[in-house]
Every structure is written in structure tokens, then in C-alpha cells.
Structure 1
């Protein structure tokens, strides 16, 4: 006998215990109710019932909002707790636990702005997914897919961890796994739906296309849509020249592409255009991706008002 089980899209969401509420929500609502009950037992006989109800209403509303409210997809109580930790935590530009030493005298800031070319460690994109680092060598950038670890059985999880560990042990040089959150622009998809709706074979399909375009437009207007991108960066020093470093970096990416698919993920070397877009987005992660005609050419000086 087999059973059909519905699995939610968000497998990390909390289980709903009673009446569609999670254990965390029930704890907040129960705590709010207990607080009001104890307050009524203490002061209920001393003050008028209407006065007590007027004072208890904001507390009950705050508890209800704290239990069911959400901000940017995060439960409101967790959002407020994270904001509180941010406010009380020390604001430092270093993760060192001890107090950092003062900057040397020669590093003191000088008054007045100074215009100068911005020297970056990346000299340019020399090939598919290859970044020229000058005397520091070459870096290869590849995009890696993801795998749902929580949906796997314990045996499958052990196998995934073991395979990933074998890849880590096989590394012969520096490697970085970078997780990026990118804004999603639905405007091209919406325009494509609207433009192609008139060519559909049935009026019902045309209506459905327009309704879906309206849904996507409303979704894009009400939410900050993000997508997650996982990048694998392989770096090789310039020993033996840039060509030799590029060959070693590509070979290490090919090794990762052979080993990691056994974990259920794929490794795809980025094209030169995609690598340039990644580098450009690092300067303003919150901005939408730049078009190809908005990117500066190699060696071109960017002035104010150009290539925004």
C-alpha cells in the first residue's frame, strides 16, 4: 500500500500544530494570554473592567501581530530579535574579538578628496570564466547548482557529505564557495507574456497569459524578489605564466565538474559575459544587472554620468 504525501515548497517551514499555528506562534499567543490573565488576577478587582480591557487590548494586539506577522518573509518575532541583536552588538569592521589596534600614522586620512584611477585586483576577463589577476595569477568562476539536503535520507546525507569531503581533500590550491543573493527583474518576462499573448491559439489562453502577466507585475511591485546563486572560484598563482595558470585553473574546474555531480549538483564554467556581469554586480549588489551596452570596455576610464 502506498500513501500520497504533500510536501510544501518550503521544506524548512515550521510544522503547524493546532489551528494552523506553529509551536512558536502558540507559545507567543499562550504567553500573551497568560500575561493578561495574571494581570487580571492581580488588578482585576481594583480597576473597572472596561479600563482593564482598554489597557489589555494593545497588549493582545501586539502579541497577535508578533505571532502571525512577517517582514520580508521572516517571522516578526525573529526579525525583531535580529534587529535587537544588531542594535546591542558592537559595530566594528573586523571579526577579531579583541580591540583592534589604532591605525598607523601614515594611514591617517588627509583632508580633501583626491581623484585617482581605481586600481582593482582584477585586470579583466581573459576567457570563459577566467579573471586575470595580473601578478597574482588567474581565477576561474563556475556556477554550481544546489541540492535539497533536508529531503534526503540519513544514508543519502552521509553519502553527500562523504563525496563533498573527497572533493575538499582533492583540492590542490585555493578555492572559494560564494553564495550571492540577486534581485530578480520580472519586466522581460512580463513583456514577453504580453507581446506573445495575441499570437496564442485560443482566446482563453490569451486571457490566461494577460492574467499571469498581471500577477507577476503585482508580485514584483509588492515584494523584493531574490534568487540565490552559488559560485565556485578556483584561483591559481602565476607560476609559469598566465597561460599555465589558466590551464591549471580550468583543469581544477573540470575535476570539480566530475566529482560534484555525484552529490547531485552540476558545475558550469561561466562565460566571459557572465563573469563580467558578476564582477560589475559586486560594486552595487542591490542594483539590477547592467546591460551589455552599459558595461565599460577594458581600459576605458569611467567618469560621472557614464555607465551608471
Structure 2
């Protein structure tokens, strides 16, 4: 005899469990601490303070405890939001790239004293020559650019096939992975310049006129609208374990990207690993999207001397 039981699984699988009267363990602890503090205050000062005054003092504390327990802000519980706001308020606001703590200025400088800048601690130590992000003791991260497919234009059978392929890849994951969809501005200056240059070499005047008209259309389009390009990135992170941790982590990251390229290739998606120059340009654009692109030969080395004629 076999039987089955229907169990409802919430859409958010990371949602905390309800343990008492629909409250989570965190909410129960907050309410218990609030109730205990109010009871202790009543036992201590109940005979010295009139009940009306004691109730007026206890009401804001009770309301605050209830709000901290059940209230949320942008999907974050109010107690965690308050702790994050407190940490942000106490944290230094001016950060600089320094290997250690910033020393205080000497006493002979006649300057108005103020808060010292703090060293900027980034999770990434740098970009290695193979394009991997060096995360220090946390291992490495590999970034790949992923193409897209049009899901809405497919037939229901093709959509089921795409979902099945994507599900097989998700079930094959053996470590943390991140899918990042970002939008970046598109600069058509090089395209317009290339059209004007190629128009002079076209064999027929009609082709040259069409090329110049298309260049004018692109120039007007870039002037009237803010053009954006969507980029899909696949980030794979592997921890460094053991004495040869970095090399083994890099090998595992490459193997996972190869497996993703093999599985996602079944639905027409290509996975291309970014090299060191592409990763550096990507990080620079994420920090400052409005900055001009990096030079073709990459950033200067730490010991390079940069003069008016370029680096030496």
C-alpha cells in the first residue's frame, strides 16, 4: 500500500522556519527579551512608580520590540536594518587604497583636525594573468560572458527543451555561482567613423551614399537616445584548499565553466571565458560606468613611469 502526502514548499526556500505561533526563532527571541525587560522593570519599579506612568513608559518599549520583531524594510527585518544602519553610521566614510592603517598627520601641520581616512578593503586582490580574480584566502573567481536566446519567440516544445537544459545545468552545480545581468552604455563613435572610412572605398556611388546615410542615422540615434547594451555574465567561485590551493581552485573553476559551456550549448548558448584585459575593463566599468574605456595596452604596472609621451 502506497500513499503520498502533499507538502507545500514556499517559493523562497531560504525563508526561516516558523516555530511558535507563526513566529521565527529570531522574532521569538526579540519578543521574549522585550517582555522580560518589561517584566523586570515592573518588578523593580512597580511599587515606586504609579501604574499610569509605568504604562506610559512601557508602551514605547513594547511597540519598539514588536516593530523590530515583525517589521520589515525592503525585505529586511527591522532589527537587521537597524544594525546595518548603526554599522554604516560608525564606519569611516573616507576610504583610500593603503596596505595598512593610515597614520595621523604630524603635529607641526597647522590643519584642522578631522577624521582620518580608513584603508579600503576590497574582496579581490587583483586580476591574474589567466583572467581569474584573486580573492586571497577565499580562492579565485572566473568570469565568463554568456550569450542569450529568445525564449518568447520559441514554440512551447522548444521552451520546454530550453527549461530542461537549464534545469540540468542547475542540478549539476557543485559550488557557488552567480548570474549577473548588467546594462552598459554603447558608444557608436567607432562604428560611425568606420562607416565613413569604408564609404570612400566602396565601388559604387550608391553604396557609398547608403553607408553615409546609415552613419548619419546612427549619429542621430546616439544623440537623441541613450543606447544601452545588455551583458550577461556567469561568475564561478572556488575556494582555495590545501597547500596548492590556488592552482587547484583555478582548475576546478575552469572545469565548471567547461561543463556549463557543454550543457548550455544544448540550447544555443555560448559561454566565453574573459581574459585578464576584459576582466580588468569590466571591473573598471563597474566602479565608474561613465569613465572612458581603458587603453588597449591595459593599465600601467605599479613600477611604471608615466610621462607626457606615455609610459616608459
How does the TM-score come out when normalised to structure 2? Answer: 0.61
Match of 1:154 in 2: 156
CA shift for structure 1 position 163: 1.2
Partner of 1:96: 76
Deviation digits for residues 179-235 of structure 1 (CA, Å, limit 9, x no counterpart): 010100000111111122211111222222211111111111111000100000000
Shift of 1:127: 3.6
CA contact (8 A) 2:92 2:118 kept: no
The counterpart of 2:293, out of the listed 289, 294, 299, is 289
- 1:122 to partner: Cα distance: 1.4
- Of residues 254, 260, 265, the one that matches 2:258 is 254
Q: CA deviation at 1:129?
A: 3.4
Query: Offset at 1:156?
Result: 1.5
Give distance in 1, aligned partners of 2:194 and 2:116.
46
Match of 2:218 in 1: 216
2:247 paired residue among 243, 246, 270:
243
| Rounded Cα–Cα distance in structure 2 between residues aligned with 1:233 and 1:109 | 30
Kindly indicate whether the alpha-carbon contact (under 8 Å) linking 1:182 and 1:227 is maintained by their aligned counterparts in 2: yes
2: CA distance, partners of 1:128 / 1:141: 11
| 1:163–1:262 CA contact under 8 A, matched in 2 | yes
Q: How far apart in 1 are the matches of 2:87 and 2:303?
A: 33
Counterpart position of 1:141:
143
Partner of 2:169: 167
Alpha-carbon displacement from aligned partner over 1:162-182 (angstroms, at most 9, x marks no partner)? 111111111110000000101
Q: Quick one: structure 1 residues 178 and 106, their matched pair in 2 at CA, closer, same or farther if it must change by over 3 Å?
A: closer
Output aligned runs, 1:49-88, within 5 Å: none
The structure whose Rg is larger is 2
Q: Please list every run of 5 or more consecutive structure 2 residues that lacks an aligned counterpart in the other structure.
A: 1-72, 94-112, 305-312
Cα distance per residue 1:110-136 (max 9 Å; x no partner): 883534553321122214431111111
The structure 1 segments of at least 4 consecutive aligned residues displaced by more than 6 Å after TM superposition are none
Which of residues 190, 193, 198 in structure 2 aligns to 1:191? 193
Q: Which moved more, 1:98-107 or 1:262-271?
A: 98-107
Retained in 1: the 8 A contact 2:277–2:298?
no
Write the distance in 2 (CA, Å) between the matches of 1:228 and 1:219: 18
Tell me, yes or no, if the aligned pair for 1:128 and 1:269 is still in contact at 8 Å: no
Conserved 8 A contact 1:183-1:288: no
Q: TM-score, normalised by structure 1?
A: 0.62
How many residue pairs end up in the alignment?
212
Q: Which residue of structure 1 lines up, in the alignment, with residue 180 of structure 2?
A: 178
Instruction: Point out which structure has higher relative CO (alpha carbons under 8 A, 6+ apart).
Output: 1
2:287 counterpart SS class: coil
Cα distance in structure 1, aligned partners of 2:82 and 2:228: 38
